[in-house]
């Protein structure tokens, strides 16, 4: 599939879908490549889970889930969480890396949706 320049995360300008959309190859601003695999998708529950197959991150066994929850009075809240094992860095350093990614990604989503 062709590459997309749709806004994903602030530091991911390009995404390429493979294997019918089950694999996503992301390229960051510095040219680093992140390969994600869709593990589970549930349209009714409004959730999906993915793993990172290959990335320049100091972790192993990364698995993450995004879930959309209804909010009383209308609207939605997106929850994004992940599990991983730090590799060569402290747990605090690895957690801080992904907390920043989640924060920036959720902010970009909010801006994209105009919420």
Q: pTM for the full model?
A: 0.86
3-state secondary structure 36-93: EEEEEEECCCCEEEEEEEECCCCEEEEEEEEEEEECCCCCEEEEEEEEEEECCCCHHH
Any idea what DSSP says for residue 58? S
Would you write out the chain's pLDDT as a tens digit for each of its 115 residues?
A: 344 444 467 788 899 999 999 999 999 889 999 999 999 999 999 999 999 999 999 999 999 999 999 999 888 999 999 999 999 999 999 999 999 999 999 998 888 887 5
């Amino acid at each position: 599939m062709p590459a997309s320049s749709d806004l994903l995360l602030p530091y991911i300008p390009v995404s390429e879908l493979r294997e019918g959309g089950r694999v996503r190859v992301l390229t960051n601003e510095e040219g680093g490549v992140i390969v994600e695999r869709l593990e589970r998708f549930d349209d009714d529950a409004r959730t999906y889970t993915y793993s990172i197959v290959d990335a320049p991150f100091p972790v192993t066994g990364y698995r993450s889930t995004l879930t959309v929850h209804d909010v009383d009075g209308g609207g939605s809240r997106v929850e994004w969480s992940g599990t991983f094992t730090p590799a060569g860095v402290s747990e605090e350093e690895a957690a801080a890396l992904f907390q920043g990614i989640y924060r920036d990604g959720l902010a970009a989503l909010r801006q994209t949706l105009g919420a």
